[in-house]
A and B are shown apart, each in its own frame.
Chain A
Amino acid sequence: MAKSLITLTINGEVHEQRVDDRELLIHTIRERINLTGAHIGCDTGHCGACTIDLDGRSVKSCMMFAVQANGASITTIEGMAHADGTLHALQEGFRMEHGLQCGYCTPGMITRAYRLLKENPNPTEAEIRMGIAGNLCRCTGYQNIVKSIQYAAEQLRIKEAAE
């Protein structure tokens, strides 16, 4: 099996990896780099459990070969908390508003919401619902996920205003 050497910057750390040409990015992240926060839920790009942030976009990492990500800068759920260990407003929001149950979709959901709020810091409920439509949750019925994202949006706006 042909292998390629690739470089990925994940959560600020540079990783050089020799990967199979056909290897999916999610497998590289989970199995070679041992960041198991992003999950696999469907294999067809529908569920979004594998969502990561790649060069400023939300990407379903089971829909991309690792070699295609060569040189990319990636943020995963493991890189979401602040350097001092405090939680990101989204992580706090999901906890405060009961935005998760089994936790399996949560890393993808939070990572997706992170990009959504970067693009639209003050989204309406409809915009949030449309914005997370690529991420499935089987437990919560989404209502509290919407509230969690609204909670985070507000916290981030307050923080920004203070800065």
Chain B
Amino acid sequence: MNEMVRNLSAEREIKLEGIGCKRKRTEDIRFVQGRGNYVDDVKLPGMLFGDFARSPFAHARIKKIDKASALAVEGVLAVITSDDLVPLNLHYMPTLAGDVQAVLAHGKVLFQNQEVAFIVAKDRYAAADGADALIVEYEELPALVDPHKSMAADAPVLREDIMDKTHGAHGPRKHPNHIFTWTAGDEAATEAAFAAADVVVKQYLAHPRVHPCPLETCCCVASMDKITGQLTLWGTFQAPHVVRTVASLIANIPEHKIRVIAPDIGGGFGNKVGVYPGYVCSVVASIVTGKPVKWVEDRMENLSTTAFARDYHITAELAATKDGKLLAMRSNVLADHGAFDACADPSKYPAGMYHICTGAYDIPTAYVSVEGVYTNKAPGGVSYRCSFRVTEAAYTIERIIEVLALKLGMDAAELRRKNFIQPTQFPYKSAFGWEYDSGDYPTAMAKAMEAVDYPKLRAEQVERVADFKAGKTRSLMGIGISFFTEIVGAGPSKNCDILGIAMFDSCEIRVHPTGSAVARLGTKSQGQGHETTYAQILATETGIPASAITIEEGDTDTAPYGLGTYGSRSTPVAGAACARAGRKIKQKAQLIASHLLEVHHDDLEWDVDGFQVKGLPEKRKSMKELAWAAYNNVPPGMEMGLEAVDYYDPPNFTFPYGAYFCVVDIDVDTGETKVRRFYALDDCGTRINPMIIEGQIHGGLTEAFAVAMGQLIDFDANGNVLGASLMDYFLPTAVETPHWETDFTEVPSPHHPIGAKGVGESPHVGGVPAFSNAINDAFSKVGGVHTHMPHTAARLWDYGRSLGLHT
């Protein structure tokens, strides 16, 4: 190829804005002008509003509900209680975890702010007035708050509806408040390895209850057309197709009569995966009244009722040789699932992918056991900006390895490097059976250590500790390391389903005669920028410029079925479907090109945005020309049109990883922490849009900072939720948020069509242990071993006092 042709080709490539381009986001045009269309922006003629009357108690029997008091309020049209739902068999709804959840409290309330009655009124003020006016008589019962006491002999029985069930969705139950016991790995071999090891460490790690808290709360608008029998449901749904199927099953409405629309979504982070009572009640209210009904939760309702994350009470153990070679790992977890088991996990895995907890290390033997229990708290158990329970897993291994380093007197980075899975070991089978797809951990770690000048940091820390001990400073320096491995892209049908539906995803593309296209997918962006990045994948695959491709998601009437967006699955699964649908388009285009150019299709080669005759680049047909021909001049016997659809069932998960370093300075007298530096190196395989990747990492790190340093949904002894408003619940502002440094390596996934692994959640998964390790590292120099998150100033001050650093 001569120079001129090469230049032309490079110019065409730039115009495509394909994979690797820092393309500006197409969705921003509407967002920066206030033209987004979020659920609360939906306004329909005659629309009514719903609001909940909620329980003031964590555990109480409902003696009487006096509807008249609410119905007397001006503007209130209806009050729906559980008794009204019983004849419709809608008083309980199935959860994603195989349990049932009361749509409205049935006989008892089981957590504070539980939905007791749904008030339907002419406007949102009247609905709130009605909820306030409703008189409910309760008989308070003892609340079960501490999950460690759930299975005590004298524990109050929470779930009377299932108290006689000896088996749950995940096996036998040994107590009325027991949900499941789930294990993985080889218990006996792990026990033997621990018994024979030179060194063992064991540490209790509480991962407290937190909430994803997207800026937009959960909401919906239900509109039942009584004439056509068509239900339209707008909502904040991360997985709109699953919502349609669940709605059909719950409400017994044929699935083709339900249209679910997830318009623009104001952040999700796991909060908007589940199906909540507000959705069901809005649908019922619309059926009852014949009018559209809108329900919008307020922030307090959001933080205290729709979902929570974590609440894992972890015991972690490591066994090693005296020179630091890891031999075995074990973890026992007590999982607080609240009053109903509504965790969002693939059916087979009630503890999600917690068994990725051997992390980036070559650990020959391992065992985990997770016990799920009921308490008088809100249901949920969602993956807050991570794949299923993966932050918990990363926290376990990345904290316990630090505890081991401390015991061995070994440098924590050195201990990690000594035990890394080596590049030659991929595909690597972990002790729990996961097959890690690809990676080069030593290179990533070396690059990160060089970037932060790790030896210099440690030398500075030695000086600081000496100064501290000499009374010259009251500040401790901490260096937090996290080398994490995720498991994302759920998932292969052999492992993953939700309610029996395999966790594939899909892309359907139509190329128009003039060469532009529309593609629709089964996922749903909540800020990830899908409209921009999917178009980039398709641009590279089809030669149609990204700017000429419209991406649509979220309308079940138009988009192909898919399992939605969470757990970093969009790029690994729907992104793969995108690439493969694009390749199908290209295949057909090649046959059309062969027809137009009158050569055999094997004599054609692809060049950026069209096919050319091998060796004769001037004899070419661009995709734009081929699209036109697809509608008027196709080879004999070929169907007209240029469309493709692909349903992608991934052969494996993808395993993104990263090396994070965090440097903090802690004032022991105030407990205040200053994050001096945070460096994040991520490997997410092939990088589609570096600008968006960087943005995702900034955001995920900020959420990790929030979890590690301040977030907590706490309860008092009576089950009153403490701090369920932004007055108390920590969302970092621009002032406390640290500056982020990002970096990368790029080892593609061998099994993904374009080698991409997913990135949105890595910074959260890796960030949480990095912060916590930094804090714990600082205190380890003055006698500390482990202190639990959140590392607020008050708690660190207290911890310092327990170590005798001040009185």
Contacts and interface: CB of A to CB of B under 8 A. Distances in A.
Nearest to B731: A136
Given A36-B41, A42-B299, A138 B703 contact: yes
A38 B34 contact: yes
A95 B32 contact: yes
A141 B699 CA distance: 5
A40 B124 CA distance: 14
B648 to A, nearest CB: 25
Nearest to B705: A141
Interface in A81-101: 81, 87, 90-91, 94-96, 98, 100-101
B7 interface: no
B267 A139 contact: yes
Contacts of B74: 1
Interface in B671-723: 691-692, 694-696, 698-699, 701-703
B734 A101 contact: no
Given A41-B215, A41-B216, A104-B216, A130 B32 contact: no
B740 interface: yes
Interface stretch (B366-374, B526-534, B604-612): B526-534
B300 interface: yes
Contacts of A135: 733-734
Interface in B736-756: 737, 739-740
B215 A104 contact: yes
Contacts of A141: 698-699, 701-702, 737, 740
Nearest to B726: A46
A23 B128 CA distance: 13
Contacts of B31: 100, 103, 106
A103 B264 CA distance: 9
A68 to B, nearest CB: 17
B152 interface: no
Interface in A43-85: 43-44, 46-47, 49, 76-78, 80-81
Contact of A78 (B33, B216, B733): B33
A31 B28 CA distance: 24
B740 A137 contact: no
Contacts, number: 178
B64 interface: no
A128 to B, nearest CB: 7
Contacts of B695: 98, 101, 139-140, 144
A128 B734 contact: yes
A104 B733 contact: no
B794 interface: no
A74 to B, nearest CB: 13
Interface in B14-68: 24-25, 27-36, 38, 40-41, 43
A138 B33 contact: no
A154 interface: no
A139 B527 contact: yes
A100 B528 CA distance: 10
Chain B at the A interface: SS class: loop
Given A41-B216, A43-B299, A80-B33, A104 B267 contact: yes
Contacts of B726: 42, 44, 46-47, 136
Contacts of A106: 31-32
A101 B215 contact: no
Contacts of A38: 34
Contacts of B25: 95, 98
B448 interface: no
B34 A35 contact: yes
A158 interface: no
Interface residues of A, number: 60
Nearest to B742: A143
Nearest to B126: A1
Contacts of A37: 33-36
Interface in B276-313: 296, 298-300
A22 B125 CA distance: 9
A145 B125 contact: no
Contacts of A107: 34
A39 B24 contact: no
Contacts of A8: none
A40 B40 contact: yes
Contacts of A25: none
A96 B695 CA distance: 12
B445 to A, nearest CB: 24
Given A40-B40, A133-B733, A146-B734, A77 B34 contact: yes
A39 B30 CA distance: 14
Contact of A102 (B32, B125, B527): B527
Contact of A87 (B33, B216, B527): B33
Given A87-B32, A138-B214, A144-B695, A95 B38 contact: no
B735 interface: yes
Nearest to B26: A95
Contacts of B264: 102-103
Nearest to B725: A44
Contacts of A140: 695, 698-699, 702
B727 A39 contact: no
A10 interface: no
Contacts of A76: 34
B755 to A, nearest CB: 23
Contacts of A136: 215, 726, 731, 733
Contacts of B740: 141, 143
A101 B735 contact: no
A146 to B, nearest CB: 7
A115 interface: no
A105 interface: yes
Given A136-B733, A139-B699, A44 B28 contact: no
Residue among A46, A49, A87, A102 with the most chain B CB within 10 A? A102
B34 A138 contact: no
A34 B695 CA distance: 31
A104 B699 contact: no
Given A138-B731, A144-B694, 9 more contacts: A1-B74, A34-B43, A90-B32, A101-B695, A103-B266, A134-B733, A138-B214, A141-B702, A142-B737
Nearest 9 A/B pairs, CB to CB: A37-B34, A102-B527, A104-B266, A103-B31, A141-B698, A77-B34, A141-B702, A101-B527, A46-B726
28 contacts: A27-B124, A35-B34, A36-B34, A36-B40, A38-B34, A39-B40, A39-B215, A43-B298, A44-B727, A46-B731, A47-B731, A49-B215, A77-B32, A91-B33, A95-B24, A100-B28, A101-B529, A103-B28, A104-B36, A104-B214, A129-B734, A137-B734, A138-B215, A138-B269, A139-B527, A140-B699, A141-B737, A146-B734
